Amino acid sequence: MIGSQPKKIKGEEDSTRELVENRTNGVPESRIKNILVYWKEKITELFKDKMDLVIDSPVPIYAVDTLGNSVGVYDGSSVKIIKSLGLEKDIAEVVAHEYAHNWQFINNNMHGNLLSNDLPYGGKIFIEGFALWVAFRVMDFYGLHENMSNVVLR
């Protein structure tokens, strides 16, 4: 055989058609809860299998109407994502970001010294930088960062 198919991810075949539709038209409100639970499970599995970020009991996830000026939050006991994000890839990215925070704040994975007020931005530069990096890795793994392929490096 010349060449080979890209390795399929567990459950990928089932979701590809819906994902393409949801990336184009946005997730219908009636499906948001299922989409959140789907990505929570998929992403926390990926954390464990590919990134050694084990969350024994990921917090529950909820869709909410508003979160002030934020699109997602990890509050220590749950993850909340606003319903109006629309596109499924944007939802997946926020889910990955917030569960990265979930991992950071269990079992002292985020060392207390990184949260010092003596550090730039009171240590938030490490907290948020890590979550952004994890979300980027997840999006890259699933091929959901299509805009990145348009970036030309000189």
The reply to whether 135 sits near Zn ion by the rule CB under 5 A is no
Q: How far is the CB of 136 from Zn ion (least distance, A)?
A: 13
x-marked contacts with Zn ion along 71-110 as a string, rule CB under 5 A = ----------------------------------------
Nearest-angstrom CA–CA distance, 154 and 149: 14
The reply to whether 131 sits near Zn ion by the rule CB under 5 A is yes
Amino acid identity, position 26: G
Vertex 94, ends 33 and 35: CA angle to 5°?
A: 20
Please choose, from the candidates 92, 104, 108, the residue with its C-alpha nearest in 3D space to the C-alpha of residue 46: 92
C-alpha distance from residue 99 to each of 20, 73, 94 (Å): 23, 9, 9
Q: How far is the CB of 97 from Zn ion (least distance, A)?
A: 6
Assign 64 to helix, strand or coil: strand
With contacts defined by CB under 5 A, name the span among 51-59, 109-117, 131-139, 140-148 that binds Zn ion.
131-139
With contacts defined by CB under 5 A, name the span among 15-23, 42-50, 60-68, 126-134 that binds Zn ion.
126-134
Residues that bind Zn ion (CB under 5 A): 128, 131
